[in-house]
Amino acid sequence: MPYPRVLVITSCTGEKQSKPENQLVLADFKNADRLQKREAELADFSTTAGAMYTGMQHLQLMEGVLQWRGALGQNAVDLSILSAGYGLIEEDRLIVPYEVTFNGMKGHEVDGWARSLGLHDAFEKAIAPYDLIFLLLGENYLRSLTLPVETRPDQTLVFLASNSSTRFIRTLAAKTFILPLSNADAKRYRYGLVGLKGFLFKRFAEAVCKDAELLKAVYEEPTVFQELIDQQETQLELSMGVSVSAAKKASKQVIKPPAEDYLAIPPCPPAPNVHLGMQYYIPEWDDRVDPNYDFLTDTLTPGRDPYNDIYAHEIYPSPNYDGILVSKVVVDESKTKRARVEAAGGIHEFIRFPGRIMGDCGAFGYIKEEVPPYNTDEILEYYENLGFNYGVSIDHLIVGPFAQPGEREKRYEITLKNAEDFIQKHRELGYTFTPMGVAQGWNPESYANAVKEVIGMGYDYVALGGLARAQTKEIVPILKAIYPHLKPHVRLHLFGVARIEAIPVFRHLGVTSFDSASPLRQAWLSDTKNYHTSSGRFFKAIRVPPTERGLKVKRALENSSVDLETFKRYEQEALNALRQFDLGKLALEAVLESVAAYSMLVESQEEQSSPEALSKYQAKFENPYRELLQEKPWNSCGCSVCKEIGIEVVLFRNNDRNRRRGFHNTYTFYNRFKELLYQISCTSAPQLNSKDLVCHI
């Protein structure tokens, strides 16, 4: 037989890419109308299910899946996720952050909610087309499937499960192998029990990448699965790829990341438009701060008008981006904002930015609509009246469930028809802004055809949409397909993509501008990459949530016998300790102890003295905090924010700190981007394609 068709089913994790305070809860999922409204509120945080979860099991699993696909092809393995909110969903399903889990539910609650989600039937239907199915599920997630389901003797199921959950795996017609995992196994494999299932699957995937015939062996005799993972060399993989023995030797050293690995320059001449250079735009989402915020008392300027708060380009001597992208859905989010923009005299005056401003419609805001909610006439007037430098035609996204045959072709035609209508009326009516035509697609060929058509309409600025959540290795083939259609005068923009390691390739293949708020938003949305440095190193910001507001403290108070005044005292002691440390008046261990006391109070609902709570805290917080405080990167940063507020920039606490840290991240990214462009301009293409730029596609 050919290689077995493989499906992996894993569970959702509590750790997610974004954690807004108003994420979905169980009640939202129980009402379809309410769910639709709440999802719209959280649209800015939407991403695919595969990218949403950041728990250790999921991250390890995804590493294995990506290696597998890299070796055997994109369709070699499929992935579904058992979500306690959304049900059994495919990897590319667009979802928003939520806070629902089967863990902690009582048995009857699991059973009832699983019935509402239709998990038993969904699971039976999902596995039917596959030969070899791997299940990485915890106890209540296995229970929610209500096994047994109908399977076939020519199918093989491999369960990675805890000892206690194996009772939910009932007799199946398929060949079945259960690998029960316990703390003893975590110790044996030298990996934490929480992420062990994903770690072991990745180990199996690595073996498959070396010898694909192993798939047939496991399909025919599933016990081979355990033999394979036991044969692999046991190694605790740190983020730097350091083995256990090496880590012990380096335990007292600060491990620094390697130099940036850049993608290889393709073996073709530079695109004909490469002389146009490359610019970075940042999306505008009301990212402002109070210029007179008092960090010691955590108070805003009395009587301040939030619209008079300042942007990053008003803090730095020169803007930390080349231009700004403003979406219509953002301008129109409230009547007050739209009125203020118009009253100010236009978009430049409102944002107080003299440089280039690009406008688009904000397609993610209406992604679920059958057709875009705007027409060309009103959008042309909007761009002209508000004074945009560039205006983007009306597009319709082709991503996730909207990239299915039938739907994708319809959206493709809508986007091209709008582009043609847009440029024709732009010419006829003599508008002064530069028109940009959007190309949407679902594979390299469709994108290339769209770009060819848009250029043929007369556009000299083309934008690629729908790639914000695509992997770089998916984007590069699209750019290669577009490359032959580019002309010396045509500029090419990438919506929502900023990858420093891909800049040389993007520029070589004709990208002349791109936009992304990732460096900014990682300041408060990332779990670990909150503070960026010019060396490419990232640090976790120190969580000191304010007691007077904030969901975490409120929940901690509800689940604690400690009163509010005690919380406040611990909070102030932690802040004072950090500030004294920054002044050189307090030792590292003392400040860590003070921060730990408050963090344990907020983060842990267990007994504060329990070994489990302490171990969890040390892994997630104390070790990253120690590394940050030892390094003191804010002291060596020359940016205006770090110079002005010092250690406050690395405190994860509120908007006026978190956004300033985002401004610093954007400043750092922009400087690295400009330095890289300068390096490229001083280096010939053959040199860039050598050891300096290593291919990791």
Residues annotated as catalytic (active site), given as ranges? 360, 515
Element (H, E) at 486: none
- Residue 84's Cβ-count burial label (10 Å; 0-12, 13-18, 19+) is buried
Tokens of 689: 């394609």
CA pair distance 628, 516, nearest whole angstrom: 26
Residue 141 sits at the vertex; the CA angle it makes with 139 and 143, to the nearest 5 degrees, is: 70
User: What are the angstrom distances between the C-alpha of 640 and each of 7, 266, 318, 668?
Assistant: 50, 38, 11, 11
Query: Nearest-CA neighbor of 316 among 27, 690, 693, 662?
Result: 662
Q: What letter does residue 53 receive in the DSSP assignment?
A: B
Tokens of 133: 């199915």
User: What are the angstrom distances between the C-alpha of 13 and each of 29, 101, 103, 399?
Assistant: 17, 8, 10, 23
Q: Which residues pair with 79 in a beta bridge?
A: 8
Query: Nearest-CA neighbor of 571 among 539, 540, 549?
Result: 549
Residue showing tokens 């802040």: 575
13 within 8 A of 55, measured Cβ to Cβ: yes
CA pair distance 478, 165, nearest whole angstrom: 45
Element (H, E) at 412: helix 407-429
Q: How many CB atoms lie within 10 A of CB 74?
A: 11
Q: What letter does residue 4 receive in the DSSP assignment?
A: P
What are the DSSP E strand ranges found in 275-329?
A: 279-283, 323-327
CA pair distance 412, 440, nearest whole angstrom: 6
Return all residues near 283 (Cβ < 8 A) that are at least 6 apart: 324, 325, 326, 327, 515, 516, 517
Helix 196-210 vs helix 213-220: crossing angle, to nearest 10:
120
Query: In sequence order, what DSSP letters do the residues of 138-161 get, joined into one string?
Result: -HHHHHHT-S-----TT-EEEEEE
First to last CA, the chain: 30
Helix 56-72 vs helix 196-210: crossing angle, to nearest 10:
10
Specify the length of the chain in residues: 697
User: What are the angstrom distances between the C-alpha of 154 and each of 4, 157, 175, 226, 370?
Assistant: 11, 10, 8, 20, 42
